[in-house]
Amino acid sequence: MASGDERHGEEEGNYGDATMGALREIYAGYAWADVASLEPEAAAARVRVRGAAQAVRAVGRRVAFLVLRQGSATVQCVVSGAGGGMARFAAGLSRESVVDVAGVVSLPREPVRGTTQQLVEIQVEKLHCVSRAVANLPISVEDAARSEEEVARAKAAGEQRAHVGQDKRLDNRVIDLRTAANQAIFRVECQVENVFRQVLLSEGFVGIHTPKLLGGSSEGGASVFKLDYNGQPACLAQSPQLHKQMAVCGGFERVFLVGPVFRAESSYTNRHLCEFVGLDAEMALRDHYSEVCDVVDRLFVTMFDHLNKNCAKELEAIQRQYPFKPLKYLKTTLRLDYNEGIRMLQEAGVDVDPMGDLNTEAEKKLGELVRDKYDTELYMLCRYPSAVRPFYTMPCPDDPRYSCSFDVFVRGEEIISGAQRVHDPELLTAQAEARGIDVSTIATYMDAFRYGAPPHGGFGVGLERVVMLFCGLGNIRKTSLFPRDPSRLAP
């Protein structure tokens, strides 16, 4: 029989600081497991998990409870031993240190409070620290995960609860991303991108990639990032617009792409970024630009149905920190004529220019009016005045003051802009020059329509804005992994 000193020595070999490669033999016989998969059916299994030390609580000298977090899933690990060395080692771990735990899955007498895996825990047999976090973190995950409502309740009760502001979160984004809400937000965002691809592929679209370095502005105006390109003036693409049209003219008929878009706007609003992820599509038309609206309708109803059905856990995690009401939408998306929207606003006492664009306040008001009248927060506004649309937008054949265009709104904010494009080179040239665009800088684009071009149209939407509005998050910086706005270039 081994003596007490020998048992203590054996225990010491089962814990400590170690590099990843050195642990392979030590952890032989334990199967890797994901924390989220640990359920009562796994009882008695010998498992190895890796995660962050979210919290450690010592109970006496020989027992410690370690909450291990992997992604957004957490499990309680019970650390004990005759000598108490492993428990003391666990108690000395700094929060957010990356650790490996090996042990036996067991069923606690009562559900574990404060973890996602409440019906199981791990009886720890081996514990090693792979990467130690600094003792004093700039923000804690616990504070970053606290909702504003919780802070307000604590303040009303005379208690102190740390509130982490937006800028401090973004300055320390790596830690901020570890909260359950942020883990969920970007998993939802991944699903939005996946559904976008899957639906369009199912409808005969081809995925493409377009250049982000251009010789001239793709949208007109001054909101471009200029740079030197081997001695030539160039800029970052404001949109894939010109090249996705050229791809349609090249015979692909239906194309889509997912990629970065750059806008040099001095806008500090809650919905603008200098760099965002664009979801774009372009398609040949047979009879009418409403064919694009049909695709958008099917795409976004399918997308929102998918999120509600398959992302319930993620939406619940977001709800806990950022409460929001589920989005109201119809199975067939409502379409309103622009003039009808103007009429609704005027009847509500809003002063709007019937031939001008809607400002943010008017858009939000119209969103309220549509919700109250039609019980939907997702709708299309069609046939905008030509003067407020880009130079490549096709005028309506019955009245050129209006265009074959549309925007899509969610919760009173625009998420999609779409239209039929001008495929006649003479009309396109005239409209570009009327907007002050130097046609020579987009000569290859203009030439594409001289070689035979089918009638076509398309749309573009910002990935971050879709998630922000679907989840009612209120600020697009919450849905950008590492936001770039007029004042932020790091981290």
Radius of gyration of the chain (CA): 28
CA-to-CA distance for 89 and 32, rounded, in angstroms?
Answer: 22
The residue from 95, 169, 243, 271 that is catalytic is 271
The residue from 46, 163, 272, 488 that is catalytic is 272
User: 10 Å Cβ neighbour count for 427?
Assistant: 15
Active site (annotated) includes residue 125: no
Amino acid at 323: P
CA-to-CA distance for 194 and 267, rounded, in angstroms?
Answer: 29
CA-to-CA distance for 159 and 83, rounded, in angstroms?
Answer: 40
Active site (annotated) includes residue 48: no
Which residue pairs, CB below 8 angstroms and at least 24 apart, start in 30-38?
A: 30/102, 30/103, 30/126, 34/70, 34/73, 35/68, 35/69, 35/70, 35/71, 35/73, 35/74, 35/75, 35/116, 35/117, 36/70, 36/71, 36/73, 36/116, 36/117, 38/75, 38/105, 38/117, 38/120, 38/122
CA-to-CA distance for 127 and 115, rounded, in angstroms?
Answer: 19
CA-to-CA distance for 194 and 185, rounded, in angstroms?
Answer: 14
Active site (annotated) includes residue 377: no
The residue from 48, 50, 146, 465 that is catalytic is 465
Nearest to 221 by CA among 437, 460, 445, 462: 437
User: 10 Å Cβ neighbour count for 22?
Assistant: 11
Q: To 10 degrees, the CA torsion angle through 446, 450, 456, 461?
A: -20
The residue from 275, 417, 423, 480 that is catalytic is 417
- List the helix and strand counts (H, then E) for the chain: 16, 20
Residue identified by tokens 């640990």 is 38
Active site (annotated) includes residue 465: yes
User: 10 Å Cβ neighbour count for 218?
Assistant: 23
Active site (annotated) includes residue 263: yes
Active site (annotated) includes residue 132: no
Q: Which two tokens stand for residue 320?
A: 């806990």
Q: Which two tokens stand for residue 399?
A: 């009245």
Cross-strand partners of 103:
47, 124
Q: Which two tokens stand for residue 155?
A: 């303040």
The residue from 414, 423, 464, 477 that is catalytic is 414
Nearest to 451 by CA among 216, 281, 242, 246: 246
Instruction: Output the CA–CA distances (angstroms, integers) from residue 151 to 145, 157, 169, 318, in the order listed.
Output: 11, 10, 16, 17
Whether the CB-CB separation of 121 and 112 falls below 8 Å is answered with yes
Active site (annotated) includes residue 272: yes
CA-to-CA distance for 185 and 316, rounded, in angstroms?
Answer: 11
The residue from 263, 411, 456, 477 that is catalytic is 263
Nearest to 68 by CA among 80, 50, 86, 81: 50
Q: Which positions are catalytic? A: 263, 265, 271-272, 414, 417, 465
